[in-house]
A and B are shown apart, each in its own frame.
Chain A
């Protein structure tokens, strides 16, 4: 179980990113954390892997207070949590297979079983046969899938996906979301941080929304019937921005 208790995180600049945030995530749950950019979603992930320590409050995983954890035990903690990074953090001069191999080697996977496991993972994330390609040879969606494959390579009990659909089109975003759901159904606790609420609103998932570093709401969403069609029809935040810009230009023209 993951337990954030009265967590406050203030950066050295004085900026309060998280302000008295408390919530728990039970094993096997699928939790979506939403909120605008800079609201503290990534910070939550970084607190979870002890890349940061809370200024106040505690973060516990299975009862273990991460702040009290010894530095030498941090790698063990990180091996328990698969992390899908917002910027992928795929090593560019390594092939997809080599990137996944790293995660497997770090987890102490039997080297003889690694090729078979990579094959299995590439099939799971739907990029079979792309193991020998370099990141520069992949599309954004494929890169994200490779990143997910690496994160779940060693079967971690927890998966934190930081903006996994951030740079993708709606269709690919939905596929990635469904992939995360599939991983969750296999028993992995999934925490997905995203600013894109359109996908989440039509799925059955726990939804924690952050505003100004605080939890605005924490509720269960109910999956609607024709999810995929509805998602495709929903305007993305980018489309909204474009419309606003057009409106502003029209107003300017009228004023002139």
Chain B
């Protein structure tokens, strides 16, 4: 390791450029990882939380409702199914318009909105969007689910929202992966070039060491260690920058997606991220260092 540090001290600008490129890559990796996890969380929330709402005809009996609920509870992919009576619907309406005195007045002051005009419903929480079809078929068969004048059952599906979100999440993933792949390639090439330059500058030394009976690994070890140091430093700087950026943007993000993701992001999550980044960066640097040095050492006699 001493030799590796000495090599870095001898050519600090090369070392700085290598660490800088790796740091940028690692910063992007960190941001991509955080955005990926966040978007996954948001998608998951939308996939599982939005309920399928089936509106019921007036005049249904409790037995009919119980039968439907029993049917739904035995259907695969149903997480929860609850009955919302007309009175419950009114309460929910009041809750939802709680901040708007005008709309609230329609219930309390003028009596325009009453429990009678609101339909009773069944709200179903699905485990995954895949189970929508089986849930739909149960609801389609049910006699108490109300029908539109066009003959369609009155069922609200969250599929469109999920589809849109999935599309965006996938786009973010693809773009992120492309960016990470490109930057990883740039980092590898930068390390390879810098290590190659350093090794070619020490051609005579390498030849002498080989003539003295040094094994290839003994010769390349300091260069691999050097590139390892670039990787580790880059990962640490990239992680630190990403963490600072995240903390800085917490006041902006928290009110928007704070109900889905915990803010500030727990430190343990950041530590796990650091572990992953260190592993990735070290692997990247080791591969680059090994490639550059082996290629040269094998060529020299």
Which A residues contact B (CB, under 8 angstroms)? 49, 51, 74-81, 83, 85, 89, 91, 102-103, 105-107, 150
Contacts and interface: CB of A to CB of B under 8 A. Distances in A.
Contacts of A89: 204, 207-208, 211
B213 interface: yes
Interface of B is mostly: helix
Contacts of A85: 211
A85 to B, nearest CB: 8
A91 B205 contact: yes
A85 B210 CA distance: 13
A49 B211 contact: yes
A24 B207 CA distance: 28
B1 interface: no
A-B complex: 3 closest residue pairs judged by Cβ atoms: A78-B213, A79-B213, A89-B208
B138 interface: no
Given A80-B213, A83-B212, A107-B213, 4 more contacts: A49-B211, A51-B301, A89-B204, A89-B207
A96 to B, nearest CB: 14
Interface in B254-271: none
Interface residues of B, number: 13
B205 A106 contact: no
7 contacts: A75-B210, A80-B213, A91-B208, A102-B212, A103-B212, A106-B209, A106-B215
A201 B58 CA distance: 126
Max count, chain B CB within 10 A of own CB: residue among A75, A91, A102, A106: A75
Contacts of A102: 209, 212, 214
Contacts of A80: 213
A49 B213 CA distance: 9
A51 B214 contact: no
A106 B218 contact: yes
A144 B282 CA distance: 42
A148 B29 CA distance: 53
Contacts of A83: 211-212
A150 B211 CA distance: 12
Contacts of B218: 105-106
B213 A77 contact: yes
Contacts of B209: 102, 106
A188 to B, nearest CB: 16
Contacts of B213: 74-81, 106-107
A78 B212 CA distance: 6
Contacts of B214: 75, 102, 106
Nearest to A78: B213
A51 B212 contact: no
Contacts of A77: 213
Nearest to B216: A75
A81 B213 CA distance: 9
B211 A78 contact: yes
A207 to B, nearest CB: 26
B37 to A, nearest CB: 46
Contacts of A105: 218
A106 B301 contact: no
A79 B218 CA distance: 13
Nearest to A76: B213
Contacts of A106: 209, 212-215, 218
Nearest to A49: B211
Interface in B194-225: 204-205, 207-215, 218
